[in-house]
Amino acid sequence: MRRLLPVRFVAVVTLVAAASIGTNALASTAGASAAAPARCATLVASLKGVGTVTNCTDAANTGGSGKLVFNITKLTGVVTWNKTGTTTLSIKYSAPKVDEPETAAHSCPKGTELLITGVVTGGTGAALKSIPTGSKVSAEVCAKTKVTLELGSFFIF
């Protein structure tokens, strides 16, 4: 019976240690997902899907700007951040349910507004730590002769 006590003690200590490691990992994950998403205040792209995002938050991990390339046929994209890595995306786009006319508060000419939604599918470097796989992506854009963000909106990662 005395032999079982040390074995039980080791088993209990191992279980408690494993549980606390799991709890710390969950707390770290929860803390990471609670951070504000990266977002860019400027997007300029061709109708073919090649362009830039600038004035981006989390400059330590995004470099503050990036080059983007979207494959409009496959609905995928890659942002190559300024010396900090990449973010790969899967996107969808649709017209808004109500197409408002162009006004001071609504910068898209009628018939040019698109809503972009999607998810981050991967990435590299510091950018991946800041914008992890599974993060939601969204933007309201005007697509006329080029693609730009709707007045007052952001490209959110």
| Whether the predicted pLDDT of 86 surpasses 60 | yes
Average of pLDDT values for 123-144? 96
Q: Specify whether 43 is located in the same domain as 12.
A: no
In this predicted structure, what is the pLDDT of residue 22?
A: 33
Residue 25: Cβ-neighbour burial (10 angstroms; 0-12, 13-18, 19+): exposed
Domain match, 139 and 80 both: yes
Q: Token pair for residue 33? A: 């997902």
Stretch 88-103: mean pLDDT, rounded? 85
Same domain for 126 and 58, yes or no, is yes
26 and 42 in a common domain: no
Does residue 100 sit in the same domain as residue 143? yes
Q: Mean pLDDT throughout 106-131?
A: 93
**Are 132 and 78 contained in the same domain?**
yes
Structure tokens at 32: 């990471």
Are 99 and 147 part of one and the same domain?
yes
Are residues 29 and 55 part of one domain?
A: no
Same domain, 28 and 42: no
**Residue 151 and residue 141 in contact, taking contact as beta carbons nearer than 8 Å:** no
Q: Backbone dihedral region of 142: left (phi > 0), alpha (psi from -120 to 50 degrees) or beta?
A: beta
- Does one domain contain both 27 and 90? no
Report percent pLDDT > 90 for the chain: 64
Q: Whole-angstrom Cα distance, residue 66 to residue 147? A: 15
- Report the mean per-residue pLDDT for the chain: 81
The reported pLDDT for the residue numbered 34 is: 52
What is the per-residue pLDDT for 133?
98
16-70 pLDDT, tens digit each: 333 333 333 333 334 444 578 999 999 999 999 999 999 999 999 999 999 999 9
Domain limits at 45? 37-156
- My answer on whether 28 and 82 are in the same domain is no
Is the domain of 75 the same as that of 117? yes
The answer to whether the beta carbons of residues 146 and 44 sit under 8 Å apart is yes
pTM of the model: 0.74
Total domains in the fold of the chain:
2
Residue holding tokens 């981050």? 120
Q: Alpha-carbon distance 56 to 58, whole Å?
A: 7
Residue 11's pLDDT band, with cuts at 50, 70 and 90, is: very low
Which pLDDT does position 132 carry in this prediction?
A: 97
Q: Which residues partner with 60 through β-bridges?
A: none
